[in-house]
């Protein structure tokens, strides 16, 4: 039963893919120096260094999967991270994940 914080601060049930996508969004905005004991959690620098002229980012997918494994998150893994259309000054990425039954799951994160 994945949980997430709602805008009003209350916990709410969400789909596992939504909870993982929200977590990846937090990791994408956290510096790896923020938690010295868990530098794998902070993916800000890796998302920032993703070249805008490159469509797919396999290193980001590997880094996300490493962080998810370190957190003990199972059931989903990221297969592809792709640049997504965004407004000027924003960076969005489309994620293709697979669940335990190898069904593709699509989500988007803002980095």
- Torsion angles phi and psi, residue 71, rounded to 5: -80, -10
The DSSP element (H or E) to which 101 belongs, if any, is none
C-beta of residue 82 within 8 angstroms of C-beta of residue 93: yes
| pLDDT one-digit tens code per residue, 4-33 | 778 888 888 988 899 999 999 999 999 999
| Ramachandran quadrant class, 85 (left: phi over 0; alpha: psi -120 to 50; beta: rest) | beta
C-beta of residue 86 within 8 angstroms of C-beta of residue 94: no
pTM confidence score: 0.88
**What structural domains and CATH numbers belong to the chain?**
3-110 (3.10.450.40)
Tokens of 107: 């989500």
The band of 93, judged by pLDDT with boundaries at 50, 70 and 90, is very high
């Amino acid at each position: 039963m994945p949980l997430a914080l709602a805008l009003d601060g209350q916990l709410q049930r969400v789909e596992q893919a939504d909870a993982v996508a929200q977590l990846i969004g937090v990791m994408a905005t956290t510096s790896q120096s923020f938690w010295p004991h868990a530098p794998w959690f902070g993916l800000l620098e890796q998302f920032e260094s993703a070249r805008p002229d490159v469509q797919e980012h396999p290193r980001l997918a590997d880094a996300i999967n490493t962080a998810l494994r370190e957190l003990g998150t199972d059931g989903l893994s990221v297969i592809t991270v792709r640049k997504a259309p965004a407004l000027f000054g924003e960076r969005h990425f489309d994620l293709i994940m697979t669940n335990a039954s190898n069904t593709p799951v699509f989500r988007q994160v803002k980095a």
